[in-house]
Structure 1
């Protein structure tokens, strides 16, 4: 039986992987996550605390990824929130919440899906908490963002891209004509 130190340091869990530790199993996971950039503005304080109007909240988000090396990518979840009334802006929050993702031995299409669908799904609850804390710290009710179906959005984007490519290759012929 191995002592506790051996269990924590021996990451080769598959004895069939070989004596040199070469493991060809697909692997993906987070190395780290962090706030990369954040801006919080309360441009009309203290007057804003006297307004009684219900604010309109504009939420925008985007996903970006940058390769750090062959096996590590930085995934960025960019969220912009602006709350306004007829009297003016209540607050503006711009957040870039990022994570370093390690991917090894994974087919390109699966790695792409992990980076653009699964990684944002994992990052989102943490970014949501940052937004809620920021609105609370501004003196407003915490803004609880609704969950986002990143996998559904990813699949929708793939279908849109395939349709655009098919239209570009097919010219101006209407659909259904052969």
Structure 2
């Protein structure tokens, strides 16, 4: 999920906010769109079934900053045939200040993805539209709920394996 212990404090000379999140950079790390049966899949018919995936990852860097990746994927199928598959890994470089160590992981895996989400969502809407489909607009994501579910799942696996 996250590696938060590797990052030392920011180097001297950098301005670190007393408490807060500063976005240093945003970037597209990976992007893929497939529509294997186009143009036949563009014809009307039954509404496709959509399977969504959401992942968040974070890691500390030696310069005191944190890289956070938000991975969104959507796979549309109709009658067991693929309609389209889109995957976006959208990243951000963040400076976090004034956050206790115990609260760092939730900040990295809840708050930082909230900043990245609108940009990744727009990319998916644009590429599905360019692929000949109506824009696929992902509903807002409850990152706190996703984080809590993944944390509970990880703790359940750790208890089950012990």
3-state SS in 2 of match to 1:127:
helix
Bigger radius of gyration among the two: 1
Query: Gapped runs of 5+ residues in structure 2?
Result: 1-12
Counterpart CA distance in 2 for 1:24 and 1:49 is 50
Relative to the length of structure 2, the TM-score reads: 0.79
The answer to whether the Cα contact below 8 Å between 1:39 and 1:93 also exists between their aligned partners in 2 is yes
Structure 2 equivalent of residue 135 of structure 1: 128
Structure 2 equivalent of residue 64 of structure 1: 57
How many residues are aligned here? Answer: 150
The structure-2 alpha-carbon separation of the partners of 1:67 and 1:160, relative to structure 1 and needing over 3 Å to count, comes to same
Counterpart CA distance in 1 for 2:96 and 2:39 is 48
Structure 1 equivalent of residue 9 of structure 2: none
Relative to the length of structure 1, the TM-score reads: 0.72
Give the CA deviation at 1:68: 2.4
Q: Does residue 122 of the first structure (1) align with residue 122 of the second (2)?
A: no
The answer to whether the Cα contact below 8 Å between 2:113 and 2:143 also exists between their aligned partners in 1 is yes
Q: CA RMSD in A?
A: 2.6
Q: Does residue 150 of the first structure (1) align with residue 143 of the second (2)?
A: yes
Structure 1 equivalent of residue 8 of structure 2: none
